[in-house]
Amino acid sequence: MADTARARKLAERIQQVVAQMLDTRVKDPRLGFVTVTDVKVTGDLQHADVYYTVYGDDEARTGSAAALESAKGLIRSEVGKQTGIRLTPTLAFHLDAVPETAAHLEQALAEAARRDAEVAALAAQASYAGEADPYRHPDDEQDDDAGR
């Protein structure tokens, strides 16, 4: 049975160690402004997926990905030293797609707001096809009976 609390704590610690390593020890010129966003550790604590974002264009992303791959061994050894667990998990770096997804959602929400404004403008100019209130009310029934 996997201990999810232990995996969560290890993931948090790996995130801290990787961020510290990227800030202080990894001196690769290809490495851009990298932010470690999340770390997922498998239940058996043997593998860790490190998610990161890079501030910049596609060239900065590809350079940072290459720099992270070349520094993977150094970072893994430091993770092993600072966590103190018997088997150091393997590391895999993945570019986090959250910023692109958020930008796409922002565009979709702006489009929906624009369409809502158009519908509201059309509704403000609209008039009823018949009466404003087409339903019968109890008051009307008394008037109908008196008119017969």
Query: Six-digit token pair at 64?
Result: 């940072």
- Tell me if 140 is assigned to some domain: no
CATH number, domain containing residue 40: 3.30.300.20
Number of domains in the chain: 2
> What pLDDT is attached to residue 1?
42
Does residue 16 lie within any of the structural domains? yes
- Whether 71 and 101 share a structural domain: no
58/17 same-domain check: yes
pLDDT of residue 147: 52
pTM more than 0.75: no
Residue spans of the chain under pLDDT 50: 1
Domain co-membership, 72 together with 83: yes
Rounded to whole angstroms, the Cα distance separating 70 from 28 reads 9
Q: Are residues 113 and 89 in the same domain?
A: no
Question: What are the distances in angstroms from CA 73 to CA 18, 24, 27, 34, 144?
Answer: 12, 16, 14, 18, 90
Establish if 144 belongs to a structural domain: no
Tokens of 144: 């109908």
Question: What letter represents residue 86's amino acid?
Answer: R
Please tell me whether residues 16 and 43 are part of one structural domain: yes
Same domain for 122 and 90, yes or no, is: no
Residue 28 structural domain: 4-96
Mark whether 18 and 28 lie in a shared domain. yes
Q: Look at residue 146 and tell me if it is in a domain.
A: no
Burial class (CB in 10 A: 0-12, 13-18, 19+), 52: buried
pLDDT at 140: 66
**pLDDT of 103:** 83
